[in-house]
Amino acid sequence: MVVAIGAAPATDWLDGSGLSIDNGVVCDSRCRAAEKIYAVGDVARFHHDRLGTLIRLENRTNATEQAAAVADNILGADRPYSPIPYFWTDQFDAKIQVHGTVPIGADAEIVEGDPSNGDPSNGDPHARRFVTRYSLDGCVTGIVGWNMPKQTRLRRQEIVDAQAELAPAVP
């Protein structure tokens, strides 16, 4: 059995380095912690331009995508790293996936499935399978799926589309 409650980035070895450490290595939106110093993965707490805050994302997908973005920036791209936050977990018989964010006050709408449908104790394959969409001020901010991984992943596009509408035009 493995039980994990929260995660603390291992940054003790950076004490006295001159880097800003606060729940991870604090970075700008390019994942730059200082001149010519970058951080990626679970330890990087970077400024997410679209969310307007510092965040740490603790999954292997983020570590891979963030490393590619940092490599591009080291090579001169100068682009912010602004992924759609994502995580997943398997809890007993539930596969839970979250794309985006679920801000306080967001409107929730079940867009697929039914959270009260069926009885999982009877082995019902359709029991408690659903996808919920979260919106704030009419803008889709998050998708949460419960035992519907494919549908959840496909609905992620709604967040991409909402962000594209809000993004300033790039020349």
> Hey, where are the domains in the chain?
12-74, 86-166
pLDDT of 44 strictly over 70: yes
Identify which has the larger pLDDT, 19 or 2: 19
Stretch 65-91: mean pLDDT: 93
Lowest model confidence (mean pLDDT) among 22-26, 129-133, 165-169: 165-169
How far does Cα 79 stand from its chain's mean position?
A: 18
pLDDT for residue 170: 41
- Smallest CA-to-CA distance from 152 within 98, 89, 90 is with 98
According to CATH, what is the number of the domain 86-166?
3.30.390.30
Identify which has the larger pLDDT, 125 or 113: 113
Overall fold of domain 12-74: FAD/NAD(P)-binding domain (3.50.50)
Stretch 9-32: mean pLDDT: 94
pLDDT band at 114 (very low <50, low <70, confident <90, very high): confident
pLDDT for residue 47: 97
pLDDT of 33 strictly over 90: yes
Considering the chain, what is the average pLDDT of its residues?
A: 88
Stretch 131-152: mean pLDDT: 94
pLDDT for residue 115: 86
pLDDT for residue 154: 95
Token representation of residue 70: 């940092």
d(CA 93, CA 95): 7
Share of the chain above pLDDT 70, in %: 87
How deeply is 39 buried, as exposed, middle or buried, from its count of CB atoms within 10 A (0-12, 13-18, 19+)? buried
How deeply is 63 buried, as exposed, middle or buried, from its count of CB atoms within 10 A (0-12, 13-18, 19+)? middle
Q: Do domains 12-74 and 86-166 have the same CATH topology?
A: no
Name the residue type at position 129: R
Share of the chain above pLDDT 90, in %: 65
Stretch 20-31: mean pLDDT: 96
Handedness of CA 30, 136, 116, 124 (dihedral sign): negative
d(CA 97, CA 99): 7
Dihedral pair phi/psi, residue 62, rounded to 5°: -60, -45
pLDDT of 9 strictly over 60: yes
